[in-house]
Amino acid sequence: MARKAQRQINPYAKEPLLAILPGVTLTELWQMMRAIESTLQLISYLVLFSALLGLITMLLSSMSARRREIAIMRAIGASPSFIFLIIQVEAFLISIAGIIIALVAISMGVLFSQTYLAENYGIVINYFSMNSQMLIIVSVVLFSTFLLATIPAISAYRMALHDSLGMTT
């Protein structure tokens, strides 16, 4: 019905009128913004995936350098499950450090940019706070870290004691 009224008003030749329907225009704007938001969300997932792959690659590449260290721990009585746990905890701590740095950066960015955005563009951003969606994202990151860190942890778990102790550096 709104589009029909708009089509009747716009071509009216006797009076130069233009029917702008705020509801329709805002709906179109929000649909366009939804597409942009979805694109940015996809980019953030790809960045997360590449960061997790980088973490696992770093852990796997350090396994060859740690081979002797792990063998010494095994020789003095560390169980394979302890070695597995050490690698998992290391990956977990790296992820926690990254999460803390990211949250501090977001908080500082919002804190320092909110007056500029409000004065120049009329965009009011409230102070950053943890919400349920943010907690879900942090949980997904930590769970993904656990899953992907299992690869180097299993590699360390399976390292043969006699192969590693015989190595020379």
**What distance in Å separates the CA atoms of residue 149 and residue 151, rounded to the nearest whole number?**
5
Would you say the C-alpha torsion 20, 21, 23, 24 has a positive or negative sign?
Answer: negative
What is the pLDDT confidence band of residue 30, given thresholds at 50, 70 and 90? Answer: confident
Residue 143 half-sphere exposure, CB side, CA atoms within 13 Å?
6
Predicted confidence at residue 124, as pLDDT, reads 84
Question: Can you tell me the distance from the alpha carbon of 36 to that of 52, in angstroms, rounded to the nearest whole number?
Answer: 24
Instruction: Report pLDDT for 68.
Output: 85
Give the pLDDT score at 98.
94
Task: Return the CA Rg of the chain.
Answer: 28
DSSP-assigned letters across all residues of 39-57? HHHHHHHHHHHHHHHHHHH
Write the pLDDT tens digit of every residue in 130-151: 789 889 999 999 999 999 999 9
**How far apart (Å, rounded) are the C-alpha atoms in residues 109 and 103?**
10
In this prediction, residue 37 carries a pLDDT of 92
What does the pLDDT read at residue 54? Answer: 93
Who's near 26: CB < 8 A, 6+ residues apart? none
Closest Cα partner for 83 from 94, 93, 92, 72?
72
User: Per-residue pLDDT tens for 79-107?
Assistant: 888 999 999 999 999 999 999 999 999 88
pLDDT in tens, 111-130: 899 889 889 988 888 877 77
pLDDT per residue as tens digits for the range 38-82: 999 999 999 999 999 999 999 888 888 888 888 888 889 888 889
Q: What is the distance between the alpha carbons of residues 103 and 155, in angstroms, rounded to a whole number?
A: 32
Give the CA dihedral 125, 129, 134, 138, nearest 10 degrees. Answer: 130
Amino acid code (one letter) for 138: V
